[in-house]
Amino acid sequence: MDLSKYIDFTNLKADATCADIRKLCDVAKEHGYASVCVNSRYVALCKKLLAGSDVKVACVVGFPLGAMSTDAKAFEAKKAVEDGADEIDTVIPVGAVREGDFAYVYSDIKAVLASGATVKVILETCLLSDEQIAKASEVAARAGAHFVKTSTGFSTGGATLHAVEIMKASCGNCKIKASGGIRDAETAAKYIEAGVSRIGTSSIL
C-alpha cells in the first residue's frame, strides 16, 4: 500500500527549531506526503519551503488543550491562512463536550471554519466516553468540518481503532484522521483499511 498521500508529516514539539522544520519539509517533499503539520509560527516558512510541490501546509489551532477562547482560535486560524496554511487542525473544547454544551462546541468549530481552510476537528478521544465521541463527531459534521481527528498526541492516549469505528458511524460525510501513536507502516495501513483518510505521524512511513 502506498501510504504517502495519507500522511500529515508532523512536528509540533515545543522545542522544534527552524532547522527541524526545514528537515520536515524536505522529507515531506521527498516522500510526496499529503501535508506537513506545524505550529503557527512556522506556517510562512513551510509555505516558502514547499513552493512548487504538492505538499500542503497544515497548522494546529488551540493546540494542544482546546480550552482557549473561540475568538482566539478564530484569530489564530485566520492568521495561519493569511500566512499560507491550507488546512487547520483545531482542538475541540473538550470540557464543553464533557459538560454536554454542544451549542458551544458547534459555534467554536464554525468560528474556525470561517478561515476558509480545510478544517480537521481534533476530538481528543482518550478523554471522552464512546457516547461523547459519537456526539462530538456528529456535531463537527453538522458544523461543516471536513475531518474529525482522533487525538493531539499530547494527551493521555492516541488513536484507537475502536474510536475510529465510533467516529465513522457518527460523522456523516466527514473524513477521518487518525493520529497519536502511529509509528509504522503496518499500523497506518490498519487505520486506512478501517476507513481513515489521513494519518498524522512524526515518523517516516
Q: pLDDT per residue over 114-160, tens digit each? A: 999 999 999 999 999 999 999 999 999 999 999 999 999 999 999 99
pLDDT at 72 > cutoff 90: yes
Contact, 199 vs 190, CB < 8 A? no
Tell me, what's the pLDDT at 177? 98
Q: Catalytic residue numbers?
A: 89, 149, 177
Model pTM?
Answer: 0.97
What ranges do the domains of the chain cover? 59-197
Backbone angles phi and psi of 187, in degrees to 5: -65, -45
> Which listed CATH number (3.40.50.2000, 3.30.70.270, 3.40.30.10, 3.20.20.70) goes with 59-197?
3.20.20.70
Instruction: Report the percentage of the chain scoring pLDDT > 70.
Output: 100
Output DSSP code: residue 144. T
Residue closest to 70 by CA, chosen among 37, 106, 42, 98: 106
Q: In whole angstroms, what is the distance from residue 92 CA to residue 83 CA? A: 23
CB atoms within 10 A of CB 116: 10
User: Would you state the cell numbers that stand for residue 174, as one nine-digit string?
Assistant: 466527514
User: Residue 1 has what pLDDT?
Assistant: 80
Average pLDDT over residues 7-12: 98
